[in-house]
Amino acid sequence: MKRRTFQTALATACIAAGFAASAPAWAQAGNWPNKPVRLVVPFPAGGSTDVVARFIAQGLTEKFGQPFVVDNRGGAGGNIGTDAVAKAAPDGYTIGLSTSGPLVNNKFLYKSMPFNSDKDLTPIALVCEIPLVIASNPKVPAKNLKDFMQQAKAKPNAYTMGQPGNGTIGHLALEQLSMVTKTTLSSVAYRGDNPAMTDLLGGSIQALSAPITAFIPNLASGKLTGLAVTSATRFPGLPDIPTAKEQGIDMVATVWFAVVGPDGMQPEVVKALNTEINNIVNSTYGRAKLQTFGAVVNVGAPDHLRQMINEDSKKWQKVISTANVSLN
């Protein structure tokens, strides 16, 4: 009897010791957040990444009762701000809202990177994606992408396509389009969406490839013709524009936004953030709000984000290598 009592006491002591050993990690996760959290945005204030980040920060602030403060750190195609996240302490008090550029494309575009997006970051939550649109001036006779490509192949010197800058997703999408249709495209690189749109409206170029956000008003009014969106499904804000895949052109190109943190974050903190970010953006209000930015909600567990990174890495590495695109 005494021996059994001793064994029971010993087992209880071992269990207690086990809880004590894990107490610091659980205590830290359980008390998080007990001070403001920094949400780094690797692009300037006012852009689409910034407005999405501020929307999410407001929701997280209301949920957790601590300020989530947006910190804009632009430069180097998003590398500077994303690197600040990668090099922060993995305590849950520095996270970032980055995009597919610094998380995927830049490692193939830049000869040297300050961080390794596959090893130095913790995937937290995929948030949304913005489809690209291939739009034309209404004077162009083609009314869809399939017809446009047939005309461009027949008269290659008659059609010039704009894109918002070398290495941007708009540029890479044109290279992908050229690859899958085996058509040589004459393209012009602009410094952003608006200069390209101005020339398209004026007829200096015949078409362009860019994220849909800035072009929604002119597409809706008929001042521009939407030849195709390059997402997997039609964009809800302009449902009459068919996808490229519907037209037999096998391409998907979007720019997506995701919340990441430094490598080594505690799973409990990651889970808490993932759950609440999903709740914020996947609500009826969140979906409607993001659609005003030209974004479509795409949420899931952290593994969903990791899968997106892996799949896009394979796709864009091939496009960038084939087209010999470089930013160094």
Query: pLDDT (tens digit, 9 = 90+) per residue, 232-257?
Result: 999 999 999 999 999 999 999 999 99
CATH class of 37-129+256-323: alpha beta
Pairing of strands 160-163, 207-211: parallel
Would you say 274 and 63 are in contact if contact means Cβ atoms under 8 Å apart? no
β-sheet bridge partners, residue 179: none
Tell me: pLDDT of 15 over 50. Answer: no
- Structurally, at CATH architecture level, domain 131-247 sits in 3-Layer(aba) Sandwich (3.40)
106-122 residue pLDDT tens:
999 999 999 999 999 99
Does the structure show a pLDDT above 90 at 304?
Answer: yes
- pLDDT of 157 reads 86
Does the pLDDT of residue 29 top 80, yes or no?
no
pLDDT at 19: 34
Please enumerate in sequence order all residues whose Cβ is within 8 A of that of 37, keeping only pairs 6 or more positions apart, or say none. Answer: 60, 64, 66, 67, 68, 69, 92, 93, 94, 95
CB-based contact 96:263 (threshold 8 Å): no
Q: What is the overall mean pLDDT for the chain?
A: 91
Average pLDDT (259-286) is 98
Please give the pLDDT value at position 2.
Answer: 41
Query: How far is 321 from 113, CA to CA, in rounded Å?
Result: 17
Q: What is the pLDDT of residue 30?
A: 73
Q: What is the pLDDT of residue 273?
A: 98
Domains in the chain: boundaries = 37-129+256-323, 131-247
Residue 71 CB coordination number (10 Å): 15
Position 309: which residue type?
Answer: I
Q: How confident is the model at residue 265 (pLDDT cuts 50, 70, 90)?
A: very high
pLDDT digits (tens, 9 = 90+) for 44-90: 999 999 999 999 999 999 999 999 999 999 999 999 999 999 999 99
Predicted local confidence at residue 270, as pLDDT? 98
37-129+256-323 shares its CATH topology with 131-247:
yes
118 DSSP assignment:
T
Q: Which pLDDT does position 12 carry in this prediction?
A: 42
Q: Are 59 and 280 in contact (CB under 8 A)?
A: yes
Q: Cβ distance 160 to 260 under 8 Å?
A: no
Task: Write out the two tokens for 3.
Answer: 């021996």
pTM over 0.95? The answer is: no
pLDDT band for position 21 (cuts 50, 70, 90): very low
Is a pLDDT exceeding 60 seen at residue 300? Answer: yes
The DSSP annotation for 31-55 comes to H--SS-EEEEESS-TTSHHHHHHHH
Rounded distance, CA 78 to CA 81, Å? Answer: 6
Per-residue pLDDT at 1 exceeds 80:
no
Q: Residue 174: beta bridge partners?
A: none
pLDDT on residue 207: 98
What are phi and psi for residue 19, nearest 5 degrees?
Answer: -65, -40
pLDDT tens-place string over residues 152-186: 999 988 999 999 999 999 999 999 999 999 999 99
At residue 3 the predicted structure's pLDDT band, cuts being 50, 70 and 90, is very low
Q: Has residue 272 got a pLDDT over 50?
A: yes
pLDDT value, residue 328: 74
pLDDT over 80 (residue 26):
no
Query: Is 23's pLDDT higher than 60?
Result: no
